[in-house]
Structure 1
Amino acid sequence: MANPLWLRSFQALVEQGNFTRAAERLDLTQAAVSQHIQRLEAELGLLFIRRPRRLELTPAGHALLDYLNERERVDQRLTQRLAGDLDDHGEISLMTPGSIGLAIYPRLLALQKRAPGLAIRHRFGPTREIVEAVIDGKVEMGLVGERPDDASLTVSEFATEALELVVPANTRVETFDDLMALGFIDHPDGKALATRLLSRRFPGSPGYARWPRSGFTNQIGLILAPVAQGLGFSVLPRFAREAFEDQHAIRVVEGAPEVSDTLYLIQRAEWPLSARAQRALSVMREAVAGADTAL
């Protein structure tokens, strides 16, 4: 690859937007930065379009910037892995579905507060993206709602999460018509989750397409806000319901049969979890179990 000094000049020029500020940032002359860019462009092609008062990256410039950003991420992961197997220092990276994420993220932040040398990098995502991120090494571990069939992964059961029918606290619900009178608060997984639960609780009842809808949100932490206001009912996983702040304003309608999903922990098979990830995993299990054990 090109001379590292030339690449530093390229990055500084992208960040600063002009040669003068880039040179000041690098403590070089403007002529030196210009020469570095010229040598890069001799190897890689035109990187910048020079316009009055601004620079615009060409496709080749964007490609080089993407390469440098990815190399920086790889270097960071390598540094973390070689830093020593410490449980109080380094990055803890994971991806989860939204519901379980609401349950574990506050506990992980509490862990970080006790061990400031840790950095929590947590993302929400669907199963497909989580599996890809773990396989590609973008995160160290993930939780998914479907058991992946991939030999490169180690998969273990993490928790069981029940689906819950949630209504306003003071609302009486005995029949399916009582729910329809409220209206459904929908969300991205609403059709799948509610159909699975209500088709078993109320056999023979009309399907999703015929339900009146009282609202929709794609923010899992807000699904129960309209329910708490008496505006409808919803169906969502238990951990999402437990994370809702105003528990007094909602009520779970108990019934049979129960419908639950299994959550699976996944990691790369050939990479044992770091000590910090194992510590985080212990905290995550406590959160799921509802334990009050100190972090």
Structure 2
Amino acid sequence: MINPIWLNTFCTLVEVNHFTRTSERLFMTQSGVSQHIKKLEQQLDCELLERHGKQFTLTAQGQSLYQKGSQLLKDWQFLEQELHNDFPYSGEVKVQSPGSCGLKFYKQLLNLQTQHSALTIDYRFAPNESVEQAVANHNADIGFLTQAPTLSEVTSHKIGQEALLLITPAGYDSPSWQTLCELGFIAHPDAKHHAQLLLSEHYSEFEHIDQIKRTGFSNQISLILEPVSLGFGFTVMPAHAVEAFNKPELIKIHHLAKPISEAIYVCHHRNRPQAKRMHTVIDAIKTGLK
């Protein structure tokens, strides 16, 4: 069995990329770090590093050990934490989600934290792919997605759905295809996907969003409707982001004939048991979606 202390020294060295700084981080001598690496190489009967003076590069075996070994160290760390800190209303929960549902969920979790001061919420906003990768890499305990995950390390289930809405400046009623083309499109990171889902169902002329001139772009979820409110164009966005806009009188929300929604999934790492506080967070979000 690989010595976990030697493995931790090796993974820390790879991450820090410097023997002296590794020794400082681990409160060891530099010779102690070198001895751990040498003992690990002897135990595994292979070279892990190619030394170049004071620099080094990983061998193929070293790269493989780091990728798998760092994951093992994280799993051991999580296991130790869960055994000593598995309470439903205390501890830290790292959550990630795309922006729209995050605007709603984060407020719900702040309310939860207000009720349970020992519970700490670390909430990050990120695109679907980044959220899924964070869960797979143990950088997030819980992820909320608007697309089903594809990575084998991630398991999920559907907890709700969010309507997609056509938004124009105020004063536009039942906009025609020509009206949309004249207005122009305010884009955002998920705009192409959202427009395809919604516009293709309601406008026979629609083939792809590039048919319509782009008159603006923002990657900040809270700012996407600002250019719409100023009359610069229209956009398609999820309902939670629209609800959060603080100038509703300057925009027009169009509820089209055929409602279109995207699913919301909750996901976590397939090989990591869910702590009680993770269930607390998920239950709070599910309650808010009812």
TM (norm. structure 2) is 0.73
1:58 and 2:58 equivalent?
yes
| Superposition map of 1:36-115 within 5 A | 36-42=36-42, 43-51=45-53, 54-59=54-59, 60-83=61-84, 85-94=86-95, 96-112=97-113, 114-115=116-117
Q: Which residue of 2 aligns with 1:279?
A: 280
The separation in 2 between residues aligned to 1:101 and 1:235, in whole angstroms, is 17
1:263 and 2:264 equivalent?
yes
Counterpart AA for 1:35 = Q
The separation in 2 between residues aligned to 1:103 and 1:251, in whole angstroms, is 21
Q: Sort the Cα spacing of 1:248 and 1:79 in 2 relative to 1 into closer, same or farther, 3 A.
A: farther
Report the Cα offset of residue 11 of structure 1: 4.7
For residues 27-77 of structure 1, give each alpha carbon's deviation from its aligned partner in whole angstroms, at most 9, with x where no partner exists.
5444443333333334330414233xx423323444333334212221233
The separation in 1 between residues aligned to 2:199 and 2:113, in whole angstroms, is 40
The separation in 1 between residues aligned to 2:185 and 2:140, in whole angstroms, is 36
The separation in 2 between residues aligned to 1:213 and 1:33, in whole angstroms, is 56
Contact between 1:80 and 1:91, CA under 8 Å: does it hold in 2?
no
Report the Cα offset of residue 96 of structure 1: 4.0
| Superposition map of 1:219-238 within 5 A | 219-238=220-239
Q: Which residue of 2 aligns with 1:187?
A: 188
Unaligned runs of 5+ in 1: 290-295
The separation in 2 between residues aligned to 1:286 and 1:146, in whole angstroms, is 21
Contact between 2:51 and 2:57, CA under 8 Å: does it hold in 1?
yes
| Superposition map of 1:84-163 within 5 A | 85-94=86-95, 96-112=97-113, 114-120=116-122, 124-126=126-128, 130=132, 133=135, 142-145=143-146, 155=157, 158-163=159-164
Q: Which residue of 2 aligns with 1:207?
A: 207
SS in 2 for 1:44: coil
Contact between 1:47 and 1:61, CA under 8 Å: does it hold in 2?
yes
Report the Cα offset of residue 145 of structure 1: 4.3
Identity, % of aligned positions:
33
Contact between 2:11 and 2:70, CA under 8 Å: does it hold in 1?
no
SS in 2 for 1:67: helix
The separation in 2 between residues aligned to 1:21 and 1:49, in whole angstroms, is 17
Q: Sort the Cα spacing of 1:69 and 1:167 in 2 relative to 1 into closer, same or farther, 3 A.
A: same
C-alpha RMSD of the superposition: 4.1
Contact between 1:95 and 1:125, CA under 8 Å: does it hold in 2?
no
